[in-house]
Amino acid sequence: MAVKYIQIAADLANKIKHEQYAAGDFLPSEPTLSQLYNVSRETIRKALTELAGAGLIQKIQGKGSVVINAARIAFPVSNIESFDELNKQKQMHAATKIIELTDARVPFTISKHLSLTETAATYVKRLRLINHEPIVVDEDYILKKYVPQISPQQAQSSLYHYFEHDLGLEIDYATKTITVEPASASVIKQLQLTNTNLVVVVRSLTYLKDTSFFQYTISQHRPDKFKFVDFAHRKNKNGGLIL
């Protein structure tokens, strides 16, 4: 095991989860926690910052740290489930069908805007099904520079697991845009759309730990199966000088 403040954050998160610290309660003060865990106050503060970032607590100057109602974090305000949520429910049957797997270049609009010098990539187009129902069409452009070869077997299972676990690539961040657009005839057929020709398009650009561009993905979701949940703190309490 490793870092103290992460351990403490995990321990506190656990106690919140098991309602040892219930929603609405205040956590012990920072000096108190400092004594409890036998670490400095700064270390406690780092742990609490983690919890605040995860939305588990809210820090209020002059008062303390309040435990936030867990129901708030991802409140199922609509009863439509997302691909991910469906996937996590074990009784569901998830499947992937490879439509295309070839060499290609990253689309020019992307390579131009990011000033890419190397554009050689592997192109994978896949259809995702849940309980034999088509849900998403995924298209991926993965730079050859980092992943020279992708086999049908690898495309069949989780690419992320392959990248991170087997190749040791460290994915750090991504930018995503969500829009709603008319689908092509082939996608309409693949997703078996009947009442509409619209799909939810999620485009994401993925970058590695060393900031290099790595992957461009276009996901086209059946609109009735799409859900996106966001938990956001209000910008910058200090006036948002940044940006």
- Residue 152 interacting entry, from DNA, its own copies, none, C-beta within 5 to 8 Å by type: none
38: alpha, beta or left, given left = phi > 0 and alpha = psi -120 to 50? left
Distance in angstroms (rounded) separating the CA atoms of residues 227 and 79: 9
Residue 144 is a binding residue for DNA (CB under 7 A): no
Q: Tokens for 166? A: 């087997």
Burial 84-109 (b: 16+ CB within 10 A, else e): eebeeeeeeeeeeeeeebeebebeee
Number of residues that bind its own copies (CB under 8 A): 68
Q: Which of 39, 94, 104, 110 touches its own copies (CB under 8 A)?
A: 110
Phi then psi for residue 53, to 5 deg, are -60, -35
Question: What is the full DSSP assignment across 27-60?
Answer: PPPHHHHHHHHTS-HHHHHHHHHHHHHTTSEEEE
- Residue 4 interacting entry, from its own copies, DNA, none, C-beta within 5 to 8 Å by type: DNA
Residue 166 is a binding residue for its own copies (CB under 8 A): no
Residue 61 is a binding residue for DNA (CB under 7 A): yes
Residue position matching structure tokens 């000033």: 115
List residues near DNA by CB under 7 A: 3-6, 27, 29-32, 38-43, 45-46, 48, 59-65, 238
Q: Where along the sequence are the contacts to its own copies (CB under 8 A)?
A: 2-3, 6, 9-10, 13, 24, 50-51, 54-56, 58, 60, 66, 68-69, 71-78, 80, 109-110, 113-115, 171-181, 196-198, 200-201, 203, 205, 207, 209-211, 223-224, 226-234, 238, 241-243
